[in-house]
Amino acid sequence: MSETIADSNADTARPAASNGSLPRLPVVIAIVVFTVFLLTWLFTTLLLNLGSKSDSVSQDDVRRIVQEVVGTQIAALPAGGGNLNSQQVQQLIDSAVGTAVSTLVPTSTPVPPTPTVIPRGVAEGNAPFQGAADAPVVIIEFADFQCTYCGRWYAQTLPRILEAYPTQVKFVYRHFPIFGDDSVRAAMATDCANDQGKFWEMHNRLFTRLENQEQAPLSEDTLVGYAQELGMDTRSFGECLSSQKYLNSVISDYQTAQSYGLQGTPGFVIDGVVYTMGAQPFEVFDSIIKDELAKAGTS
């Protein structure tokens, strides 16, 4: 499952270089579209996407997920809807809802990758990583620290990958902040933390915030508070954050994700192959990793 940003107009989808802002859909339009597609889903998407799974997925789960998916889809649409018509918007939401509901039932069938292939090593850049530097399989995640699906993937799937493949997988994190100023600020905060060797600590703290459903906005004060929790030099961290030292780096990651064809979070590049599948369960990634290891002759 993934949270999606419509990218029919690349210029309106990019953060402004001056403050890292991302476009927002006007509230009135959001409410109208939310209502229309929620009702549409209740009468059509449920039947199309659940099918034989209806016995194993409760109506409460379905209702919760469709509300969350529709809400995040609307939040991520460009201002005024860009060049999207109502049918295209409905397709975006139906696709996201179908993916979200389907992942309630474990699967081992990988989602097909996009045709885009990135030369090995290029997509990694100089981004922080976990695992062995020379691992045969490289998984690059493009994510947003306000993306609930990214948080679930962090909590449920990533630990299992790192545990199952401690020397065979290199995990790289890159920024794709699609939910506005707070997302951009949080991304810059991890890079500022990296100056003090605390990238992963800040990365983990931000996703723990999602897991704990903490309501504090990702303001400078909140992020400096996290830095203090993590035992960092808060003065230098705060100066780094307020100066927007890493804004251009965050924007570069964002534009790189778009150039790879990613429209939502989380998105992945695995051994140079782009996957837009979102926060699929461990079984899906396990299957892809095993295939890549077999190709490398190290299975």
> How does pLDDT run across 201-242, given as a tens digit for each residue?
999 999 999 989 888 999 999 999 999 999 999 999 999 999
Give yes or no: residues 174 and 289 share one domain.
Answer: yes
Residue 193 above 60 pLDDT?
yes
Last residue of a domain, one of 102, 137, 158: 102
Query: 32: pLDDT confidence band, cut at 50, 70 and 90?
Result: very low
- 213 and 81 fall within a common domain: no
What pLDDT sits at residue 207? 96
pLDDT for 106:
45
Phi, psi dihedrals of residue 141, rounded to the nearest 5°: -100, 130
Residue 298: pLDDT band by 50, 70, 90 thresholds? confident
- Residues 69 and 149 reside in one and the same domain: no
User: Is residue 151 a part of any domain in this protein?
Assistant: yes
Using only C-alpha atoms, the chain has a radius of gyration, in whole angstroms, of 19
Residue 266 lies in a domain: yes
Clarify whether residues 77 and 9 are in a common domain.
yes
Check residue 22 and give its pLDDT: 42
- pLDDT score of 181: 92
Q: Please, what is the average pLDDT of the chain?
A: 76
Strand, helix or coil for residue 3: strand
Q: How many domains does the chain have?
A: 2
Tell whether the model's pLDDT for residue 248 goes beyond 80.
Answer: yes
Q: How far is CA 159 from CA 122, 133, 154, 256, 260, in A?
A: 25, 18, 7, 26, 26
Cβ 94 vs Cβ 50: under 8 Å: no
Could you tell me if residue 153 is inside a domain?
yes
142 and 97 co-located in one domain: no
pTM of the model: 0.69
> What is the C-alpha to C-alpha distance for residues 210 and 279, in angstroms, rounded to an integer?
15
139 within domain boundaries: yes
Domain assignment present for 115: no
Q: Which domain holds residue 216?
A: 129-296
User: Is the model's pLDDT at 254 over the cut of 90?
Assistant: yes
- The pLDDT-based confidence of 132 (bands split at 50, 70, 90) is very high
Q: Is residue 117 part of a domain?
A: no
The tens digit of pLDDT for each residue in 135-144 reads 999 999 999 9
Q: Are residues 149 and 292 in the same domain?
A: yes
CA distance 291 to 238: 44
Q: How far apart are CA 151 and CA 153, in angstroms?
A: 5
Residue 116 falls inside a structural domain: no
150 and 96, same structural domain?
no
Is residue 270 a contact partner of residue 288, using CB atoms and an 8 Å limit?
Answer: yes
Q: Is residue 123 part of a domain?
A: no
Point out the domain boundary residue: 84, 102, 120.
Answer: 102
